[in-house]
Structures are given as structure tokens and as C-alpha cells.
Structure 1
Amino acid sequence: MRSQRFQNRVTAGRLTLPAAIFISVTCWVLSAVLLPDSDIRRESYPLWEAFRNACIPAWGNRLSSFLLYSVIGYFLIGLNNAFAIIRMRASVQTAIYFLLVSVCPAIHTVYTGDLAAVIFLIALYFLFRSYQQPKPAGYLFHASVFIGTGSLLFPQLTFFMPVFWIGAYSFQSLHPKSFSASLIGWSVPYWFLLGYAYISGQMELFCQPFRELADFRPIRFGFQPWELATTGYLFLLYIVSSSHCLVTGYEDKIRTRSYLHFLIFLNFCIFVYMGVQPALYPHLLSLLLIGISILTGHLFALTNSRSSNIFFIIMLAGLFILFGFNLWTLLQIH
């Protein structure tokens, strides 16, 4: 271990994940103490408001958010173990995920995107399972069911269905039968919603998700300082890690290379969506951090050069600077 670089000692160390969780909890407590006014954020979407009022007590707002992110972190380990994206049983992607979430105090409260991100990750699992399957219809059906379920609370998740179809096409699992299965799968949650709305006499509930989809806000540059700083940091990680995947892709299996290329494309789409709809930034950030964590984990776990070690140290120091800047700018707002 002494002969290894600092980057490799951290990424392969057994204490890396516990340390990342401890840092995350510390940042969560600090943001709760300094930003108590941001505990509850009201949103205008009725289905989400009804779900949160019924399932999440006001005192458990931040705790529920942390638990949702913890579930995503656990699923990231399972996703890597199932598909060997990083070519080893690694938890570095989860450690990176906890650190990235921690430096964004504005998302330490429950957002629609938090729950949507959990469902989104499960949908990714089924999409990856469809890779070159002789009968992929079942996998795409289940992936679309989860996308449809998540879109009940975060309607804009529906816009990622074409992205999933492109991914299925690259995985050689998009056929007329599987395409039809994905459409049926997406519609299943809405059939249940239609039945409930009809029985309860609240047809407005069924129409609301489609109205949210049609409510495309004007494209304008309306980012807050913490959003610009966070996006810049994440975009730098995205560019470097994506370039590494593309340049050294020959070292991975064809299957792994397909997964990584899809994640690169998916993250690019999320960045574009953030740019044209700044109002949805906190929700989309929860989705973006999933792919960024996997790509960055792949970069740091599988490189062993002087330049990658320097970049790792700079990015690690940048995390603490970013947390301080984000906290300071949010304090100015509140």
C-alpha cells in the first residue's frame, strides 16, 4: 500500500466508504443547523404534495432525503457488482456519490427528484439487463413501469423514455415487440391513477401529470451561483471521466463499453435539459449525480498515473471548497 499513489490508496481503501458517509452526515448536520429555513420546500405539483404530506412528516424532511440518497448509494454498489462496470467489486462510486451529494446543501431536503432518482436507478438496472437478450421485452417492460411510476411524482421523467429507447437500441434489445412492451409498461401506472381518479371523482389528478409535461418554461439563463459552481465542477468531472472511457475503452469488455457509452450519452442529455429548464435544476441534479458517480469511479479506480493522482487530489480539495462556497451563497439568500 505504501508504494501506491494517494489516489489508489483512497479508492481501494476499506475505510473510504465509511469516511465518505461520516463526511456526508457531518455536512448534513451542518447545513441543517445553518440553513433551518430550507427544511420544507413547497412545490405546486398536487400528486407530489399529497404523497409527501401522507408519507413524510415535517420533522423527517432532511432525514428522509438522506435515507433516499443512502438507498441510491447502496444500489450503486449492487449495479456495479451485477454488471462489472468498474471491473472490480468496488464501492468507490458510492463514496463519490455521497461526497457529491454532501457538497450541495440545497438538495439536503426532500425533492421530487430524490424519489425519482431511486426509481430511475432501478429502471437503469432493467435496461442494462436487456443487453443482447433474445427476449428483451420483459426487461424493457419493467424498466418502463418504473419510469412511468416515477413520472407520476416527477412528470418530466417521461422525457427520458426516448433516451432509454436509444440505449435499448445500442444494446440490441429494441425490437417492435420490446418497444410495444415499453409503451405498455410506461402506461401501467397511469391506468391505476385513472382508476383512482375516476372512483374518487378527482379526474384533475389524472390530467395533472400531462399538464406538467406541457408546461415547458421559457428558456433563460436563470441559475443561482451555487448551481453554476456545482455544474461547472460536475461538468469537469464528466468531461475528464468520459474522455477516459472513450480513449481506454478497448480495455473494457464490449458489454461494459456499451454501458459506459450510454451513461455518457445519458449525462449529456441531463446537462442539456438542465440548460434549457433551470427551474428543474434540483430535481435533475439528483439524476445527474448517479451517472457522474459511476463514470468518476471508473476513472479513479482504474487509473494509476501521476497526472490522474494530481487530478484526484485537486478534485478532492475542490469538493471542500465547493461545499464552503455553496453554503455561503445559500446563507446569503436566506
Structure 2
Amino acid sequence: MRNRNLQNRITTGRLTLPVVILICITCWLLTGFVLSPSGNEPDTYILWQWFDESGFPQWGTQAISFALYAGIGYFLIEMNNAFGLIRMRASVQTSLYFLLVSVCPALHHFYPGNIAALSLLVSLYFLFKSYQESKPAAHLFHSFAFIGIGSIAFPQLTFFFPIWLIGAYNFQSLTLRSFCAALLGWSLPYWFLFAHAFFYGQMELFYAPFVELCSFRPIELTEQFEQGEIAMLIYLFIQFTVSSVHTIASGYQDKIRTRAYLNFMIFVCLLLFICIFLQPGHSSVLLSVLLPIISILMGHLYALTNNRAANAFFICSMISLILLFIFNVWMLL
């Protein structure tokens, strides 16, 4: 009986999130100051090269990255409270997200994935708010504006534009007016970028996102993926598969609105896995974008199941996370 209730006590406990935050801080201190990982490979994107050449100290980049991840964690709680994705006021999705980030030392530095993940999550929030709205133009404007903001840091985020339009169509919020608002929202950050580039005579800054968007890196799985990334992706795909099957099988218990939200997130996660496979050179950034969405699906699984099989899977998943962190730390030694 004790083992059978362990999952429920952890996922619904009030002390779970504070304990996870302490674990997260410990992991960051270990990987940041003791092991001093080398971080990501140099990026060819000119806007990110400008940041790398600014000489920002390592502790500063980690502090910025930690603040962005904290913002994502807070927003995950707000999304659940606003849309009832887990049918209860829970913070388990944030706890899972912090744990997933903690076991990946390569994600602890400030890089495009931090901005892209936060931008896409906020964009998803406004897209959900447009569900069956009589006047959805404002929500879609804000949603696509955040896609535009994220795409300046990671231009490939623009490929989510048609995916978000599919979501808006499924949410019955896509009209001619809302489509124009979405297009205007996406282009808004680029108007500011154009003004800056034109004023300072650096038009290559404005062209850079579009040049990067049209460049496709070769598919070289054996050379692009590191062993830690492969292990993490296998773990996440198992979690995604089990969580998706549970979400679809138990969908009759959710409201129609909630079911539409969860199905769209499953669709986005599947596309992200495909993008990681097709463009392994962007795996670290796409992994950061994937983690917040898959954390919601995992939280839906762990918070709403309470049987022997689910409890055993939860325990195995937590043990696997510990082993993943040990393996990633060992790879840094």
C-alpha cells in the first residue's frame, strides 16, 4: 500500500516543488562550478555570435538561463490554472520540467533554446485563449508576436507558423481577420529589428534570420548526436508515448476544450521529435522547446493515474532520471 500511494503523495504533495527546486540548484552548482562543462558548440548565426563575443561571464549566462527556466516553470503552473490541463491545481508539471532540465548540463547555459522555449510557451498560452472566441484576432496577434520574438533568437521557430494556424483552425478561431492579425504579430519584432539595423547601418542583422532559416544542416546522426542526448531523447520519447496513450485513452474524462488542448500538444511534441531527427544540429535548442510541453503531458499522466502499473512506471522513471544525470556528469569528467 505504501508503494502504491508513493506516486500520489509525490505528485500532489506541497513540498514536492520546493524540494525539486533545491535539487535543481544543487545540480546547477555541481555542473556549473565543479565540472565546468564546455557548453554548446559555436553557433554560425550572426546574432548569437554577437552575444558570444560580448564576453559575458559564465556565471552570468547561467544566472540568466536559470531565470528564464524559472519563468517557464511559473508559466506552466499558470497554464494549468487557466486551462485545467490536469483537472486539478497542480505544480507537478513544473517539478518534472525542472528535473528534466537539471539532468541535462548542456542546457544550463544561456543560448537560443532558452528564449525559444519561453516564447513558444507564452505563444501557446495565447493560442489556447483564442479557443472559440468571437473576436480571436487580439489573442492570435499576441500568440504569433511571441513566435516572432523567439524566431529572432532561433529562426527555425518560424516553421511553427503553419502549425499554429492549424491549431487556430482546430480551435475555431481562424478567420481572415485573425489570420491578418497573426501575420502582423509575427512580423512586428522584425520591424523593430529592421529599424535597429537600418539606423546603425547593419542590415546584415536584419537579413541574418532569413538566411539562417533557409540553411539546412546535413543529417549526420552518428556525428551530431552525443551519447547523453541520445539517452535523453530515448527517455523522453518513452515518456511521450506512454503519456500520449494515457491522454487519448482517458480523454473522455476531460472536457472537450481540454481534450483539444492536449491533443494539440501531442501533435506539437511529435513534430518536435521529427524535427530533432531531421535536424540533429539543432537538437539542443529543439530539446529545450520540447521539455515544457512534454512536462505537461507527463504531469497529466502521473497526477491522474493511481494503480500498480502507473506507480511502477513512475518509480522507474524517477530512477532513470537519476541515472541519466549520473551518466551526463560522468561524460563531463
TM over 0.5: yes
Match of 1:72 in 2: 72
Residues 68-107 of structure 1: pairs in structure 2 closer than 5 A:
68-107=68-107
In the alignment, is the contact (CA less than 8 A) between 1:148 and 1:189 conserved in 2?
A: yes
Closer/same/farther in 2, CA of residues 134 and 54 from structure 1, 3 Å limit: farther
**TM-aligned CA deviation for residue 51 of structure 1:** 4.9
More deviation in 85-94 or 115-124?
Answer: 115-124
2:208 maps to a residue whose letter is Q
In the alignment, is the contact (CA less than 8 A) between 1:220 and 1:276 conserved in 2?
A: no
Deviations 1:74-96 (A, max 9, x none): 11001110111001110000000
User: 2-side partners of 1:111 and 1:96: how far apart?
Assistant: 21
Closer/same/farther in 2, CA of residues 228 and 67 from structure 1, 3 Å limit: same
> Percent identity at matched positions?
55
Closer/same/farther in 2, CA of residues 89 and 55 from structure 1, 3 Å limit: farther
Deviations 1:43-98 (A, max 9, x none): 33222343566695443121221111111001100111011100111000000000
Deviations 1:131-151 (A, max 9, x none): 011111111111111110111
Match of 1:132 in 2: 132
Match of 2:161 in 1: 161
Q: CA RMSD in A?
A: 1.8
Match of 1:195 in 2: 195
Match of 2:241 in 1: 239
Unaligned runs of at least 5 residues, structure 2: none
Normalised by the size of structure 1, how large is the TM-score? 0.95
In the alignment, is the contact (CA less than 8 A) between 2:72 and 2:121 conserved in 1?
A: yes
Normalised by the size of structure 2, how large is the TM-score? 0.95
User: 2-side partners of 1:54 and 1:38: how far apart?
Assistant: 17
**TM-aligned CA deviation for residue 245 of structure 1:** 0.4
User: 2-side partners of 1:51 and 1:24: how far apart?
Assistant: 26
In the alignment, is the contact (CA less than 8 A) between 1:242 and 1:264 conserved in 2?
A: yes
Residues 210-221 of structure 1: pairs in structure 2 closer than 5 A:
210-221=210-221
In the alignment, is the contact (CA less than 8 A) between 1:193 and 1:206 conserved in 2?
A: yes
User: 2-side partners of 1:99 and 1:209: how far apart?
Assistant: 32
Match of 2:255 in 1: 253
User: 2-side partners of 1:10 and 1:55: how far apart?
Assistant: 42
Runs of 4+ residues deviating >6 angstroms? 1-4, 52-55
Closer/same/farther in 2, CA of residues 132 and 69 from structure 1, 3 Å limit: same
User: 2-side partners of 1:17 and 1:328: how far apart?
Assistant: 27
User: 1-side partners of 2:56 and 2:167: how far apart?
Assistant: 34
User: 1-side partners of 2:44 and 2:253: how far apart?
Assistant: 48
2:266 maps to a residue whose letter is I
1:165 maps to a residue whose letter is L
**Residue 287 of structure 1 pairs with residue 289 of structure 2:** yes
